[in-house]
Structure 1
């Protein structure tokens, strides 16, 4: 790998980490002017438009009819359910606590891999799950205390579970598509489901 491509990868990673780091704060700001469902719809209308423009120039694999239900399931879990639950949940807890709870999806992914899809999970990965769970408990107890976890916190955990279901379905059922095509169809189908908020 050349130094130019390494630099591009590092810059892309920094951009993604910055966006993810700002996201909970941005959602809190957005919720001051929009309802949770409307904010999710606005975000994904913009994302759908941008991805459509890229798809026009890059090209995209057309979906097979038999895959349409799966693509809508991916859109439901990755876009509709995840973001509406996350937005509603963030109305009741701090941006810091909501960020940690929302990023607990690897914990759910590991549990799904082991108990639903019967994948082997190493001791190392179980240790990481335990460490992640301890981190969630520490942050939540430091925010408002464990007793303060209410329906808003549970909705953010639902969003994390939804995200985990998306990755599990993607891994086990959507190998016929490249990453960009799959991302486009998940975003577009999820956005269609969000149109109820028009």
Structure 2
């Protein structure tokens, strides 16, 4: 029964994070990218603050505040702004395929600034994944789409910076604590958009507002709580392998919810991207083990945020 609950939590996480991409498209009918970013983060910030006592979220040390501000700016503010802006023209499922390149960005940053070694297989995987993303971006057929696709890739870079920059924090705080503090910091950085966001809330269709609230409560806030529950009870391989289902699920949700049908070239680029990410994260088998790895926290660069 415990195992069933764990995989149910993992499946719920994948679904929530995948559903964020089409939900953004719905919310953008009533909100601009900046207003949607603030509203979503504000809802998530309030929700995380409400569960702070139950989740035993600790206050950060003063010395960590500058880094938390940086990760909040990159992984929350910049990521939300860029992704929302990109999804004005890029279909939800296609955006999910582009964002799948985040682990590659994180690995390249770690190799460049932390001295982490990239094996030939990881270098090849990075090149394959980036080429798949480039295929999606340059074959849009229209200038607006192509520009927006590169903007979504910029959002993936911002998210990669987030996962790279939180490494020192994860040695002192839990993943949920880091996500909560980053969310609060990211929300604070977007406060200048409060006046326009308030006006947007008053004028936006109810469906767009509900989509924005959904994004803040479920993919952003609840998604990380459920993800933490699942990761604590599974091996690293089992937990991270499920993340490959996020773009696939996003394509399915976008088709059912929005009627979006990705073009064959977008699917081809997505398959190439996912193949590269899989090669990047491939681990050599330990022949002396019984198969499973001990449960331990998932490396930060492999935890990809919901859109």
Task: Give TM-score scaled by structure 1 length.
Answer: 0.88
SS at 2:51 equivalent: helix
Q: 1:141–1:158: structure 2 CA closer, same or farther, 3 Å change rule?
A: closer
**1:29 matched to which residue of 2?**
26
**1:45 matched to which residue of 2?**
42
Q: Tell me if structure 1 keeps the 8 A contact 2:82–2:151.
A: yes
**2:83 matched to which residue of 1?**
86
Over 6 Å off, 4+ runs: none
**2:53 matched to which residue of 1?**
56
Distance 1:117 1:87 in 2: 30
Alignment of 1:1-198 (within 5 A): 4-140=1-137, 144-145=140-141, 150-198=146-194
**2:203 matched to which residue of 1?**
none
Alignment deviations for residues 103-129 of structure 1 (CA, whole Å, 9 cap, x no partner): 211221122122222211122322322
Shift of 1:97: 2.2
Name the Cα RMSD after superposition. Answer: 2.0
Task: Give TM-score scaled by structure 2 length.
Answer: 0.59
Q: Tell me if structure 1 keeps the 8 A contact 2:89–2:144.
A: no
Shift of 1:132: 1.8
Query: Structure 2: which 5+ runs fail to align?
Result: 195-307
Shift of 1:179: 1.6
SS at 1:150 equivalent: helix
Distance 1:171 1:162 in 2: 15
Higher helix share: 1
Query: Structure 1: which 5+ runs fail to align?
Result: none
